[in-house]
Amino acid sequence: MRRTPPSLVFVAVLCAATLGSTSVGAATTVTTSSSASGPVRIGLEAPLSGDQRNVGVGMLNGVRLSARRINAAGGVGGRQVVIVPIDDAADPATGVTAATAAIASGLDGVVGPYNSGVGVRTLPIYQAAGIVPVRLTSAPATAGFGVTLQAMTYQIAPVAAKAITTWKHARSVAIVFDNSTVYTQSVAQALHDDLTAAGVTVNASLPIQPGATDYSSVVDEAVAGSPDLVYLAVYYPEGALLAQEMLAKKVSAACLADHASYDLQFIAEAGARAAALCPVVGEAAPQDFPGSAKYVTAYRRAFKAAPGAWTPYAYDSLSILIAAAEKAGSFDPAVLIPTLGSIPFSGWTGKVTIQAGTGDRVPAAVAVLRPEGRIYTVDRSWAKAVGAEF
C-alpha cells in the first residue's frame, strides 16, 4: 500500500459548494496516504455486481456526485477526489479480496460496505490498514468500525415493532428471515424480542436461504398459524419473490418488509401490486428529506434516473469524511474519528450527529415507506399513526 512520509502534506480547502454545506471551510494542513501531487483516493465498497447490484450502483453514483461537487469547488487543496470502486458482490470472500486489492493500490478513506455480513470481514481489514470507513452496515457486529450515517439494528427494530403494533394493530406475527447474513439474523431476533415485550405473539420464525426461485412453501408455513402480519427480514431479491407469493395466494395477513428490502428494485422485481401490499421499513426516501430537491435534481441530471434508496447516505458519507479530514488535518484514525464525532454537518440526509463512542448516527431517520409509481415515499398514514416527524 502506498504511504506518504509525514512530511508530505497538502493544504485542504473545501470551498463553498453548490450542493450541501458544512460549518467547516477554513484552510488547514491535511496529511494523506497519497503522493503529494496525486489525487485523494476514496474507496466505495458495495455490491456492484450480483443480485444486489442496484444498491451498489446507487451508492457509487452517490459518492461520484458528491466528489463531483467537491472537485468543481476546487477539490481538496486543489487536488481532485478520485473514487475507487470496490465490488464485494454482497459476498464476504469477494469483499476481502476486493478490499485488500484496493488498500494495496492506496486509499485515504472508504465509504461502505453496505452488507453487514461483508463488513464483518472487510471492516477489520480497513481498520488494520489505518483507513477510516464511513460504513452503511447495521448489524451490531459491525459497530465500532469507523462511523455510520444510517441506522443500526437497535434503531430499526423498535420502529418496525411500533409500526406493527400501533399502525397495523397486529397481535400475532410471523417472521421470515434470511439466515445467511448477520444483519437479517440480528434484526429478526431484535424484532422478536421487541414484539414479545409488547405482548405480541410471534407464532412463526422461519429461516430461509437466499437464491431460491420459489418460496411458496415458506409463505404457506408463515400463514399456517393465521398471523395478523408477516414480516420479511430479507434482502429485496427474496423480498420481492415473497411479496409476489403473498399476492398470488391472496394472503389475508398484512405484510411489512424489512430495511434490507428497501430499494427501488424491490418495486421493479415484485411488481406494483405486490409492492403496494408490502411497504418497507427503511430510511426516509431521497426526496423526503427537507431541502432534498436540489440533490434529487442534480442526481437526475447526472445519471438520468431517480436516486437509489442509499444514494443520499453514500453522498453524505463522502462529504462528511472529506469535511472531517479537513478539520482534523489528517486521515489518521486517531484524529479523524473524534472529529467525525464532533463536526457540525448538514447534507442531503439532514443534520448529522455522530454519537461519540459508538460512531452511530443519532437519531436515525427510520421510516415506513410505500411505493409511489417507481419510487418510494414515506407512508403518511404510518407517520400519523406513530407521531413521526415526516
User: In this predicted model, what pLDDT tens digit does every residue of 251-298 receive, in sequence order?
Assistant: 999 999 999 999 999 999 999 999 999 999 999 999 999 999 999 999
Asked whether residue 342 is assigned to any structural domain, the reply reads yes
Same structural domain, 29 and 178: no
Quick one: 278 and 206 in the same domain?
yes
Does 252 lie in the same domain as 214? yes
Hey, how many other C-beta atoms are within 10 angstroms of the C-beta on 2? 15
Residue 353 lies in a domain: yes
Question: Do 263 and 346 share a domain, yes or no?
Answer: no
The Cα 106–Cα 331 span in angstroms is 13
Pair (143, 18) in one structural domain:
yes
Measure the CA–CA gap between 388 and 390, rounded to whole angstroms.
6
Residue 190 sits in the same domain as residue 245? yes
Domain assignment present for residue 189? The answer is yes
Residues 327 and 350 in one domain: yes
Whether 294 is covered by a domain: the verdict is: no
Domain identity same for 129 and 168: no
Show the cell assigned to 214: 420459489
pLDDT digits (tens, 9 = 90+) for 300-355: 999 999 999 999 999 999 999 999 998 998 899 999 999 999 999 999 999 999 99
State whether 355 and 374 are in the same domain. no
pLDDT by residue for the chain (390 residues), tens only, comes to: 333 322 223 333 233 333 433 333 333 445 555 555 689 999 999 999 999 999 999 999 999 999 999 999 988 878 899 999 999 999 999 999 999 999 999 999 999 999 999 999 999 999 999 999 999 999 999 999 999 999 999 999 999 999 999 999 999 999 999 999 999 999 999 999 999 999 999 999 999 999 999 999 999 999 999 999 999 999 999 999 999 999 999 999 999 999 999 999 999 999 999 999 999 999 999 999 999 999 999 999 999 999 999 999 999 999 999 999 989 988 999 999 999 999 999 999 999 999 988 999 999 999 999 999 999 999 999 999 999 987
Would you say residue 76 lies in a domain? yes
Task: Give the domain extent around 123.
Answer: 9-150+310-359
One-letter amino acid of 218: V
How many structural domains are present in the chain? Answer: 2
In the chain, which ranges are E strands? 9-12, 21-22, 28-31, 40-46, 81-87, 109-111, 133-135, 147-148, 172-178, 201-208, 229-233, 254-257, 280-283, 345-347, 350-352, 366-372, 375-378
CA distance 257 to 259: 7
Name the nearest CA neighbour of 144 among 118, 117, 119: 119
Domain identity same for 377 and 314: no
| pLDDT tens digits for range 194-203 | 999 999 999 9
Q: Are residues 116 and 234 in the same domain?
A: no
* Domain match, 13 and 100 both: yes
CATH number of the domain residue 114 falls in: 3.40.50.2300
Q: Does any domain span residue 296?
A: no
